[in-house]
Each structure stands twice: as C-alpha cells, then as structure tokens.
Amino acid sequence: MAAMMQMSVLWATIFILCAQLNFYIATWDEYHTHEMYLPKINGADEGLVLTVLLYMLTAFVLPRGVWLMEVYTVPLNVWFTIVSLLSALFTANMFVGRVRDHSREKGWPLERAWWKLLPFGITVSQTVYWLLVVTAATNAFDYAVFEVLLCCAFCFGQFTSRLIVAHVCGMHFKAWQPALWVPMIPITAHILTAVLDVTVVPPSTVLHITLCISGLMWLHYAYVCINAISSSLGIRRFNIETRHVPEVSGVLPER
C-alpha cells in the first residue's frame, strides 16, 4: 500500500506502524477484557481499506504516471497518512482506557497489562531504527525495505498469534519471546560495522539470513499450533479421507 501511494521512507514507516498498532492493540485489549471490539471506521482493517479507496478515487492516471491531488499544497497521500496516524492514536487511547477500567474493576495492577505491549514496542523501535536511520544513511531503501518489513511482519504475526492463542486457550502470554530479538541481527551487524569500520558480511546477506530465520521461526510456530489443535480435535492433517459411496439401485431422475 505504501508503495502504491508513492510514499517516502518516513511516511511509509508511519503508515505501516499505524496499521500494526491498530491490530496489535485491539488484540491486546481482547486479551485483557475478554471482549472483541473494533471501531467501525478506524479499525485494523476497515480504516486501511477506506484510506486506499479514497486515495484511488482521488488520483488521476496520466501518461507520465499518477498525478496526486493536493490540498493546501500538501499531497493527499501525506494527508491520508496523517489521518491514519491520528485515527491510530485515537484507537490506542480508547483501548488503553478500556483496559485501564477493566483492570480497576478486577483489582489488577495496570503494569500487568502494560508489560504485554513490550514486544510491539521493541519491534516498532527496531523497524524505525532500520528504515529511518540505516537506510537514510546508506541510501539502501530500494533493496532493504522488502527484507526488513517482511522480517518484522513475521515477528509481528508471531506475537499477535501467540496473544490470540493465549486468550482463546486461557494461557499466560509471555512478553519475552525468541522472535523478539531476530530483527536485532541486522541492527547489531550495522552497529558493529560502524564502530569497527570493517564489513565482514555484506548488509544484504545479513538481511537475507535474518529473513530466513524469522520465516523459519514463523513456520515452526504455525506447525506447532496446527499440530496441537488438530491433535486435540482428532483431525487428520493434510489428508482427505475418501469414503465409499454405495451404489443406488434404480434409474436416476432426469434433470
């Protein structure tokens, strides 16, 4: 979506983090309040769909590319990103208030709920550091953006899935997960390269290794979940049971 809306590194990062914030904090609210509530307009999915739809309706395709309409000399893609940021902050404030009120009713300390936001905060800081600091210094946005965002998406998906499974199964969600530190691999390599001024492994290789590790960790977690659910329900995975259909005597009626 960010590429389609022709955003710069800064605005694309803000747009992506707003989408992740809406979804994660909604899951975080459901985990603590045991209620599923999503705003009708600025929810995790509807808000992004409406944003892209409005963008497509207000853009004009010309022979030389897409011409973006401007409002007070500011392109609409920037306005949409600002609106997405404001709606994400509004949604976050609403969910924080719901969790705070629920914790007061149950007599639970609010720090217990804040601790569950730690994985999202760390992944956000890692994404912002790499996309804004590293790529701005090395001008490597063209080749690094896909690997970095996909790696963070694997980690973000694993955190959100673990939070959902913990809520459904009545389990405790552990904030410290191994996937939390996978995006630190390219960041650590970049810091060491800057301090030592020695490039042992090319940055693209480090990114590809990190992407493979995060992808394998996500596949392992998905397999464990599918295996546990199917075993408890007695479902045969990846197999379709064939049954013998008895022959019907007589003539079938005409259609």
pLDDT in tens, 136-175: 555 544 456 667 777 777 877 787 787 777 777 777 777 6
Question: E strand or H helix at 81, and its extent?
Answer: helix 76-106
Q: Are 215 and 158 in contact (CB under 8 A)?
A: no
* Tokens representing residue 225 in the block: 């979940």
More reliable by pLDDT, 244 or 185: 185
* Closest by CA position to 205, among listed 219, 182, 189: 189
User: How far, in Å, CA of 175 to CA of 230, rounded?
Assistant: 26
Q: Grade residue 38 by pLDDT with cuts at 50, 70 and 90.
A: low
Cβ-in-10-Å burial (0-12, 13-18, 19+) of 3 comes to exposed
Q: Are 95 and 26 in contact (CB under 8 A)?
A: yes
* Closest by CA position to 30, among listed 131, 150, 168, 154: 168
User: Does the global pTM surpass 0.95?
Assistant: no
User: How far, in Å, CA of 59 to CA of 77, rounded?
Assistant: 10
Report the amino acid identity of residue 154.
F
Question: E strand or H helix at 143, and its extent?
Answer: helix 141-169
Question: E strand or H helix at 54, and its extent?
Answer: helix 46-57
